[in-house]
Amino acid sequence: MSILVDTSTRVLVQGITGRDGSFHTRKMKEYGTNVVAGVTPGKGGTEVEGVPVFDTVADAVAAVCPTCSVIYVPAGLAADAMLEAAEARIPLVVCITEGLPALDVVRVKAVMQRFGIRLIGPNCPGVISPGRCKVGIMPGSIHQPGSVGVVSRSGTLTYEVVAGLSKDGLGQSSALGIGGDPVIGTTFLDALELFQKDLETLAVVMIGEIGGNDEERAAEFIKREMTKPVVAFIAGRMAPPGKRMGHAGAIIAGGKGTAAEKTQALEDAGVPVARVPSEIPGLLRQRGIQ
């Protein structure tokens, strides 16, 4: 088993004829992902990497029945692209695009919640179930099949942690980047719930960062509901208050959202927090994960 994507996932690429869309379509196909269609208005009837292109998501859904859409369109068009996927009732939407206005995401998220559609992102690297399916921009070569679930606000930190896990012989059931914006579709709590229910996942690595209170809410859920071991890392220990570090959501405001606060909340929930990413495999071994 895995979460969100597997060998049965049928992927639609919105923005497939653009630079990023075409490049990552090729990489997803090389990994073995079943990319069944692409959408670019005005380019219907053409092909990219052997994938048929349609003018609208509705046309693609009628023709090939995708179960997941991944969005590689500019920020100014991304909200409309997500809404188009939602209106076509595609059950999983992964938005790679960064730079979306928060109010646009609030509007889109409300529509998707009403339709029962799961949104990953925006401003995220996507989701992968190693050896089965890759939806997004993460490098497939560093991932290995296994039993450790990974969820992260940071794409590059995801890659660093996953590479370290694989090197240490700890494969992954699934790994997803939820995105670093202030408003996102799927939160830590949502991902932890999915991993808790997944029979193949035996432990979870959570990679957080300063800003917001998602990590604190996740800590409450872990203490209350999780039966599987969780280890964590919080980026931004040295960040000065009031300074945005990288992601739009990574800012300490009013003395809240610090790495120290998040670390304390997680440790209070019984979650060991690594000082540096390289400590994570050892922490998992200490929790009995081999």
pLDDT reported for residue 127? 98
Task: Specify whether the CB–CB gap between 122 and 78 falls below 8 A.
Answer: yes
Q: Is 100 in the same domain as 152?
A: no
- Write the DSSP assignment of 46-88 as a string of letters: -EETTEEEESSHHHHHHHH--SEEEE---HHHHHHHHHHHHHT
Res 254 pLDDT > 80: no
* Span 11-25, pLDDT tens digits: 999 999 999 999 999
Task: Specify whether the CB–CB gap between 206 and 188 falls below 8 A.
Answer: yes
- pLDDT band at residue 198 using 50, 70 and 90 as cut-offs: very high
Q: Is 156 in the same domain as 110?
A: no
Q: Is 62 in the same domain as 181?
A: no
CA distance 177 to 194: 14
Task: Specify whether the CB–CB gap between 123 and 180 falls below 8 A.
Answer: yes
Q: Is the pTM of this model over 0.85?
A: yes
Q: Is 90 in the same domain as 157?
A: no
Set 109, 143, 247, 262: catalytic member: 247
Q: Is 68 in the same domain as 198?
A: no
Burial code (b: 16+ CB inside 10 Å, e: under 16) for 55-88 equals eebebbbeeeebbbbbbbbeeeebbebbbbbbeb
Q: Is 219 in the same domain as 156?
A: yes
What value does the mean pLDDT take over residues 143-155? 96
226 three-class SS: coil
Q: Is 244 in the same domain as 164?
A: yes
Give phi and psi for 94, each to the nearest 5.
Answer: -115, 115
Strands 51-54 and 203-209: unpaired
Res 250 pLDDT > 50: no
**Is position 5 within any domain?**
no
* Span 47-61, pLDDT tens digits: 999 999 999 999 999
**Is position 131 within any domain?**
no
**Is position 3 within any domain?**
no
Give phi and psi for 142, each to the nearest 5.
Answer: -85, -10
What value does the mean pLDDT take over residues 216-220? 95
**Is position 67 within any domain?**
yes
- pLDDT band at residue 246 using 50, 70 and 90 as cut-offs: low
**Is position 129 within any domain?**
no
Q: What is the CATH number of the domain that holds 244?
A: 3.40.50.261
* Range in 56-70, 158-172, 250-264 with the lowest mean pLDDT: 250-264
**CA distances in angstroms from 204 to 150, 185, 287, listed in the order given:** 6, 20, 11
Hey, which residues does 17 pair with through a beta bridge?
none
What's the number of domains the chain is made of? 2
CA distance 191 to 186: 7
CA distance 118 to 102: 18
**Is position 133 within any domain?**
no
Domain membership of residue 264 as a residue range: 138-286
pLDDT reported for residue 239? 56
CA distance 98 to 107: 16
Task: Specify whether the CB–CB gap between 35 and 136 falls below 8 A.
Answer: no
45 three-class SS: coil
Strands 133-136 and 145-152: unpaired
| 247 in catalytic set | yes
Q: Is 90 in the same domain as 212?
A: no
Res 255 pLDDT > 60: no
What value does the mean pLDDT take over residues 265-281? 96
- pLDDT band at residue 171 using 50, 70 and 90 as cut-offs: very high
Beta-carbon contacts of 94 under 8 Å, excluding residues fewer than 6 positions away, are: 68, 69, 70, 71, 119, 120, 121, 124, 126, 127, 135, 136
Mean pLDDT of the chain: 93
In the sheet with 230-235, reading across from the earlier edge strand, the strands are 133-136, 126-129, 172-177, 145-152, 203-209, 230-235, 273-274
